[in-house]
Chains A and B, each alone.
Chain A
């Protein structure tokens, strides 16, 4: 397909859509699917057929619409009505009501802060296209950015555009994407690789999964643009095997893109070729670390190795390798399409663009949100999230998963950007955001994350392998009432040591949840240790000495 044909396809598809009177988008991403949205789709299709409306009403298997807790979600266009918790039995009523007032009992209001405060780049197509349709993606401007890059820009100009955009890695580290691309582009060697990191291992995080399930072509397009920019012809997507739907959609999208000539050999009639393959991760958190991931693709045990040399210089099979996160790649088509300056104007000066978060825990609205950088935590939790349920009191918000920290009340008005989060002892991370209220015990939270790190440590280096185990033992002593102040001192000593001496990011950041809770909630630790009491009433203190137990 040449760029002209691509444009024609988009136009034709838009024309065809105009003939429809209504389009029903049923979310078919994992959370809604778990609420049986597949049955809802079938019911709609059957109902459309029964009413003979095939010509005028289309039913599409769309991607995530954000409010996952209220699924299955169904959007009706062009009316723009959103329905929540739709059952197969509702299909008839919704269809019969088309053109008239919406079915009141199912309506999910969209003029609420949850939707109004969001800003969509990465998720711009989620819920607005059929996730399995290349045509739908193209009709919304898909692959136009790749066409632009291939026909109107040099690889150097593409790198420059990404540098101008100020985009930073969304996989957790926040490394400047433009700089990474230019390093790989400049690295000597004929053979280079592009890898998309879709291992998403943070507990509770599902940003990348949602993007892959809802809009897989977007990631492929971003990778192809990156490959062109750095001079690579082969790429891999390393996706965890626990994401069967994402894998299916990706495999399907790759096949369709190759058939349409927007991926594979001689893309869009140019001399540029780019092949993409899937590699499945077997569920080790550490395989999300770039050097472990590369080792795993090479067929070896997934353990990190010391850096430098960085993958940009010495990566897959020893070749220069560009490795970026799913969300990072998903931003690229929009940047190339609208220009780096446009992207840089969104968000803050040092943290441009938007960030997708998986909002979870003690908030009214849980689900997937995309917000401009620089928004405050308060806006996210109280406006978008709808506040803390049951009138309870906010205690802390955890970002960055097992590598991050807990941010207390006094920083609620702090802007969400890489630097601010780091300053208060947390990190942006990949996008997990867990809200905690007064019923959460901060020691218990720290212990939960330490348990995660302990079991996910690869075991290669001593500080992480043994240190996380001991820290977990000490935290367990605190939560069961048997700890002494000496244990606390030892815990702090281990935090410092493991952080400074571990080989890879897992060990280096594993103490963060403990360090940040100690920084802001030391009194809770002391209540456990000295008074043998859990202020939140979570820990059972089963091994506390009898005489002081309360």
Chain B
């Protein structure tokens, strides 16, 4: 519950109905899609404009209260979990597409627009917005920008960052910052757009974004390559890239993942296969045909048991939609599903897959692996049970080993899900002391009171990543916070 005077001031800004602090709403905004993290905010506020956000940020600064911006809460790094309480800023009301500029190929949007709505809106008008995270049905563009999300089309088209031309941002001091613009080129000073993208709500609050659109590909083909061995599938990935072909989509699913996905989606995936690759190429019809032909040859050469192309657009769509449910479908098997986001250079995908299998065996864990193999971005997903202390300890160790291996192979601890509170202890592993110092300097310069999404990216390194219930871990802090309420 909020202090009465504070609450009244918030209500004066956004109206009475847009400040919620009942128990019910505190709980509803206490979590995101990250297992093991939960913490109650003091209130949830729904701003309607940039000016609203500005006034709220100024007020929160006065009151020394944290603000946690939130889209749809689908992030997987405890990015919107209000670990230090405060005000959750939800952008549900700021969900308008503001302008489609057909001449400059740009789309101006508010942060609360759902990603899929953007895709459908521009496609209906003959344009294309490529970033398509699996969560696109529900994730918001604000969340996508702040996590720099990737998607199934990332291999060829890049990630969200590559489609953000300009931002309107409310800074911690209440200033309104406009970065970039409808420009193909712009080198006036530091690239603040890129600084903001992927900053996980810790440097500023996005209230408007200008997105880049591209012409839609004239045709596409989708195919499924089936393997008896995971290594063969992983090696195919490296071989395709080495052959200088860049498909739009190159997704990897292992047997355990195939099983759960098929169980839910019933699209006819081969559940007895060891692994499959889901491949899509788009572009001019002749090029697509030639590429797919060549890819099929490479697949066969690397031991594919069968290679099939989708016969209709619906069939292709069904396969991609099924792939998007992979993570949630993994939760069918065991009560707790913890996913990681280790990413390695593309040529090392096969090594990484092998390492994951070895680690799973070593710690006696069930790990499903799927992911954007073409990007070198794998999602080893542990199926476990938070109530099993012993197993959770092994999970923690396994993840540490997976991170270490990824970094050894020249990779990173997270390819697209962000650091948040969950992976904060491991950030240093990737960027080192100087990296941490540089990032912290930026954070302190822009948010000296540490009020924008505090507790994310930087935390003491004794906390662990998956919330096994150790004294210093997030869930315990959470329990304490909850008791206090």
- A pairs with B: no
Interface residues in chain B, defined as those with a beta carbon under 8 Å from any beta carbon in chain A = none
Interface residues in chain A, defined as those with a beta carbon under 8 Å from any beta carbon in chain B = none
